[in-house]
Structure 1
Amino acid sequence: MNHPPDPRPILVINGHPDAAPGHYVGALADAYCAGAIQGGHRVERVDIATLDFAVLRSAHDWEFGAPPPAIAAVQEKLLRCRHVVLLYPLWLGDLPALAKAFLEQVARPSFVRVVPETGQATQPLHGRSARLIVTMGMPAFFYRLFYRSHSLKSLERNVLRFVGIRPVKSTVIGSIEDEACRAAGLAKVRALGVAAA
């Protein structure tokens, strides 16, 4: 097996809110991790559904509260990695609520360090790249053509680029009720893992 000349530290984040086994997003996360290990990369994984954290309910808590230990551990993993992979199912046209709550916890001002005068972040994750992998029941081309990949673009612009992550690439896996589409998605994501893409 030929390993790439520059193995990358990768953080894979499973954004499905249900910790029960058998979800397709979890299988995709498994496939990416297996491919990345096969490619010689160093992989850490976070499953959002298993983390212990509360939903932020006030600006004061977000700005001045300490992150829960589970979130602080994720922040450390983000600092260690060079490539972030976030997988999630499209729910009501966007991230599941728990995944959004997770991102709000991670991107606290104490971590992002927003400059008050400009409102700009110090971009603590500058130099890292990302891959977004989203699953849905509708065909992928319909989501991209009709909905113009709204949630993906919002996540890239308002969260990932804000903290310095770029480039951000995306993979949309649609029609997941179809077994052939599911199998093709797993193979594609495993290949992305091998390439750390």
Structure 2
Amino acid sequence: MPRKIALIDAHPDPDPARFVHALAVAYAEGAEAGGHAVRRIDLARLDFPLLRSPADWKTGTPVADIIAAQEVIAWADHIVILYPLWLGDMPALLKGFLEQVARPGYAIAADAAMKPVLKGKSARVVVTMGMPGLVYRIWFRAHSLLSLKRNILEFVGIRPVRTTVFGLVEGSSAETRAGWVARMRAMGRRGE
């Protein structure tokens, strides 16, 4: 069954040489070839301020780029987020974006109950990193990935959330990278 997919390329650097961008392009190409509709959000090209107080988050007015992103996420039934692991976590730009997007009244109920609003959507989170993926999952227990999954995506009602980790990216061969790109294209074709 065709899906509506919001593809969030969260690499802060717009340089097309960044591997996260290649993975995002491959996923989008695969999804479109599989009959799915894809709308992209490229964080490196958005302009939005960081939130500086609880009042900004609760009652502030989002800027045009955030409103447009919220519309894409509302339209989608599946969300794909791709980012590089920076200092053991998501890049600050992605965190700032999620704080802007996941406001009361949009992602959670505006009342004190804070019930999730984005139910019925699934997600795939793809993370690239310099360390081995197995080390990240076992030694570091994928702490930042689990935080994104549990404390943000599932908190606003997005379930299930599946994850993919590509480790040792900087030292990987062209052949290995081509295999990862093919894997992303296949995931896109299946809409997962």
What TM-score does the superposition give when structure 2 sets the normalisation length? 0.95
Give the conservation status (yes or no) of the 8 Å contact 1:52–1:70.
Answer: yes
Given the superposition, is the C-alpha separation of residues 87 and 29 from structure 1 closer, same or farther in structure 2, using an over 3 Å criterion? same
Q: Tell me how far apart the structure 2 counterparts of residues 63 and 101 of structure 1 sit (CA, whole Å).
A: 15
Give the conservation status (yes or no) of the 8 Å contact 1:130–1:169.
Answer: yes
- Which segment drifts farther, 98-107 or 15-24? 15-24
The gaps in structure 1 that reach 5 residues or longer are 1-5
Structure 2 counterpart of 1:3: none
1:128 to 118, 121, 125: 121
Q: Tell me how far apart the structure 1 counterparts of residues 52 and 110 of structure 2 sit (CA, whole Å).
A: 22
1:185 to 165, 169, 180: 180
Q: Deviations over 1:42-67 (max 9, x none)?
A: 00000001011011111111111111
3-state SS of paired residue (1:110) = coil
What TM-score does the superposition give when structure 1 sets the normalisation length? 0.93
Structure 2 counterpart of 1:30: 25
Give the conservation status (yes or no) of the 8 Å contact 2:108–2:156.
Answer: no
Structure 1 counterpart of 2:40: 45
Structure 1 consecutive aligned stretches of length 4 or more whose deviation exceeds 2 Å: 112-118
Residue identity (%): 52
Q: How many residues align?
A: 190
2:136 to 122, 130, 143: 143
Q: Deviations over 1:117-169 (max 9, x none)?
A: 43x32x22111100000000111111111111111110010100111100000
Q: Tell me how far apart the structure 1 counterparts of residues 156 and 112 of structure 2 sit (CA, whole Å).
A: 17
Structure 1 counterpart of 2:165: 172
